[in-house]
């Protein structure tokens, strides 16, 4: 009897383990995406615009950079900045084109797989401190342009620092389960017919990853999409990250803020947002206007 | 009688807000630095407003505003940040402990504003492009300090 019971438990354990293994399997890029990546005539200059819009430098540039450092210095993606969270402290890795310590020996499909699905070339899940849940919406063309721009960046040989994350979160395979609940193919807000609003939605929801800070998170760190851009506690310390768009701001105010860092009252951006302004001041003016138009449209049609 | 009553009402109306303010008195250092920031913002409203084409470019007014920012920055404001006036320790402040942990860097950030304003003072009256560059320099110095030493809202 005991033997049969033990056998039953063992079978159940194997079945549960098998189910877990299948549910946590890293997803691949679709054939369609892979084809679009290779068909795209990549343009490094267009890739630079993607680089600033996607804010890569905010997390991956060196931690000891002086505030307001020159763009060239912010293009050295040494990694090393720390991101404390409820699950432990994450350290941004070196993603410069260094073949040993960075990602210099990657291929475009590997890069796209990492950025859009959060999966390493070795098939391991990345922690969602890396905002692939929003980059999943990026167009393959933008990713290919970005990779072309990457080839122009300087290599840096700083070794990446391991994350300081405790069990069970240190068990990366479990992230596959997390992705099932939090990696969505669709946008959080309804699509727009208007071209400018659609562009703004793309810049906010896909590249700009504004929601990573401005949307509250659930107990497991997933974004509460019903509270889209509704403001959230600051994970890095005291204070609260405001709802978007800020009350009383016009589209002009938002676009001017993203360009110059001045609020309509002529206060200036501080904290993490100052880095965001460093990025946003480098994208095209119509793109800033599109972001502003999308945010204002959100206010006129509030979240359910 | 009516006259006395209305006199009392006027006295109450004038005095009560004052009393209410006295009850929630903030540290005078905090009040002073907020007042100084408002003076910066008041003048930046002129410079930034022109740079962003919210108001018409006026070289004289621009020079005046940049000069005002320069002089406010020379007000020996370092006394306004004594120890024990950081966010949490005192009402209404967003000053981060980093100010006292790294005072030299904080002081350098203040000097950067003086330098930016001094340079802007001589250039913002030239033309709109020079004004925009000048405002950019001042703005860089504002955020250079705020990003490290001020708690986000």
Percent of chain A scored above 90 by pLDDT? 77
**Res. A79: pLDDT tops 70:** yes
- Chain B interface residues (partner A, CB cutoff 8 A): 37, 40-42, 44-45, 48, 51-52, 87-88, 94, 135-136, 139-140, 142-144, 146-148, 150-153
Ranges A16-25, A32-41, A236-245, B17-26: which has the least confidence: B17-26
Q: Is residue A130 part of a domain?
A: yes
Residue of B55, B68, B97, B146 to mutate, interface with A, max A Cβ within 10 Å? B146
Which of A185, A216, A235 corresponds to the end of one domain? A185
B25 burial via Cβ count (<10 Å: 0-12, 13-18, 19+): exposed
Looking at the fold, whether A117 and A196 belong to one and the same domain comes out as no
My answer on whether A73 and A100 are in the same domain is: yes
Q: Are residues A224 and A141 in the same domain?
A: no
Interface test with A, best of B45, B93, B143 (most A CBs within 10 A): B143
Quote the minimal CA–CA distance from A254 to chain B in Å.
12
For the structural domain made of B27-149, what CATH number should be given? Answer: 1.20.120.10
Among A51, A122, A88, A108, CA closest to A279:
A51
Q: What number is the average pLDDT over the span A177-201? A: 94
- Going by C-beta distance under 8 Å and a sequence separation of 6 or more, which residues neighbour residue A164? A88, A89, A90, A91
Question: pLDDT band at A1, cuts 50/70/90?
Answer: low
Please tell me the predicted confidence (pLDDT) of residue B90. Answer: 86
- How many distinct structural domains can be found in chain A? 2
Do A90 and A167 belong together in one domain? yes
Structural contact between residues A101 and A94, judged by C-beta atoms closer than 8 angstroms: yes
DSSP H helical segments within A27-183, as ranges?
Answer: 31-39, 44-54, 56-60, 71-74, 108-117, 132-135, 140-150, 175-182
Contacts with A141 (C-beta within 8 Å, 6 or more apart), sequence order? A36, A40
Verify that A303 and A162 share a domain, yes or no.
no
Cβ atoms B113, B141 nearer than 8 A: yes
Residues A203 and A280 in one domain: yes
CA–CA dist B81, A127 (Å, integer)? 40
Domain that holds residue A214: 189-304
- Same domain flag for A34 and A180: yes
**Residue A303, domain member (yes or no):** yes
A6: pLDDT strictly greater than 90: no
User: Which residue, of A159, A185, A211, is where some domain finishes?
Assistant: A185
Confidence (pLDDT) at A20: 87
If asked whether residues A168 and A59 sit together in one domain, one would say yes
User: How many residues make up chain B in this entry?
Assistant: 153
pLDDT at B1: 45
Residues in B touching A237 (Cβ below 8 Å): 151
User: Do the bridges between strand A240-241 and strand A82-85 make them parallel or antiparallel, or are there none, so unpaired?
Assistant: unpaired
Residues of A in contact with B142 (CB under 8 A): 261, 268
Last residue of a domain, one of A185, A200, A228: A185
- Calculate ∠ Cα A108-A188-A46, nearest 5°: 35
Check whether residue A251 and residue A181 sit in a common domain.
no
**Residue A235: pLDDT band with limits 50, 70, 90:** confident
pLDDT at A221 over 50: yes
Q: Is A45 in the same domain as A89?
A: yes
Q: How far is B47 from chain A (nearest CA, A)?
A: 10
Contacts of B112 in chain A (CB under 8 A): none
Quick one: A33 and A180 in the same domain?
A: yes
pTM: 0.86
Sheet holding A88-91, edge to edge: A82-85, A88-91, A164-165
Q: What is the pLDDT along chain B (153 residues), one digit of tens a residue?
A: 455 555 555 555 555 444 444 445 679 999 999 999 999 999 999 999 999 999 999 999 999 999 999 999 999 898 999 999 999 888 789 999 999 999 999 999 999 999 999 999 999 999 999 999 999 999 999 988 998 899 877
**Residues A126 and A58 occupy one common structural domain:** yes
Q: What mean pLDDT, rounded, does chain A reach? A: 92
Least confident of A3-12, A266-275, B47-56, B63-72: A3-12
């Amino acid at each position: 009897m005991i033997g049969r019971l033990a056998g039953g438990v063992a079978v159940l354990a194997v079945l549960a383990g098998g189910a877990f293994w299948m549910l946590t399997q890293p997803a691949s890029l679709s054939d369609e995406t892979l084809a679009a990546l290779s068909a795209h005539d990549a343009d490094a200059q267009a890739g630079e615009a993607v680089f600033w819009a996607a804010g890569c430098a905010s997390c991956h540039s060196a931690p000891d950079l002086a505030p307001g450092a020159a763009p060239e210095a912010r293009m050295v993606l040494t990694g090393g900045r720390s991101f404390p969270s409820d699950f432990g402290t994450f350290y941004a890795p070196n993603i410069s084109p260094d073949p040993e310590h960075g990602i210099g020996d990657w291929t475009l499909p590997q890069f796209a797989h990492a950025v859009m699905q959060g999966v390493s070339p070795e098939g391991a899940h990345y922690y969602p401190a890396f905002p692939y849940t929003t980059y999943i919406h990026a167009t393959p063309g933008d990713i290919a342009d970005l990779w072309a721009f990457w080839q122009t960046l300087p290599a840096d040989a700083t070794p990446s620092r391991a994350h300081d994350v405790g069990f069970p979160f240190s068990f990366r395979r479990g992230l596959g389960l997390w992705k099932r609940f939090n990696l969505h193919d669709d946008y959080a807000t309804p699509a727009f017919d208007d071209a400018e609003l659609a562009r703004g939605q793309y810049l906010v929801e896909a590249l700009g990853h504004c929601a990573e800070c401005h949307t509250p998170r659930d107990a497991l760190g997933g974004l509460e999409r019903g509270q889209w851009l509704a403001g959230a506690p600051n994970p890095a310390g005291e204070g609260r990250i405001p709802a978007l768009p800020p009350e009383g701001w016009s589209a002009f105010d938002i676009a001017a803020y993203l360009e110059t860092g001045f609020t309509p009252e002529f206060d200036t951006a501080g904290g993490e947002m100052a880095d965001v302004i460093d990025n946003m001041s480098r994208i095209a003016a119509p793109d800033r206007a599109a972001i502003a138009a999308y945010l204002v449209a959100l206010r006129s049609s509030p979240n359910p | 009688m009516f006259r006395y009553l209305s006199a009392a009402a006027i006295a109450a109306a004038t005095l009560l807000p004052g009393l209410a303010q006295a009850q929630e008195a903030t540290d005078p250092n905090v009040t002073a630095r907020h007042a100084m920031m408002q003076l910066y913002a008041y003048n930046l409203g002129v410079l930034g407003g022109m740079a962003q084409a919210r108001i018409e470019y006026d070289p004289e007014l621009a020079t005046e505003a940049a000069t005002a920012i320069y002089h406010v920055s020379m007000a020996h404001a370092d006394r306004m940040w004594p120890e024990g006036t950081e966010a949490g320790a005192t009402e209404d402040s967003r000053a981060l402990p980093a100010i006292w942990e790294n005072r030299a860097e904080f002081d350098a950030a203040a000097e950067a504003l003086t330098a930016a304003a001094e340079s802007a003072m001589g250039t913002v009256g030239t033309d709109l492009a020079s004004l925009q560059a000048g405002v950019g320099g001042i703005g860089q110095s504002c955020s250079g300090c705020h990003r490290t030493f001020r708690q986000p809202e």
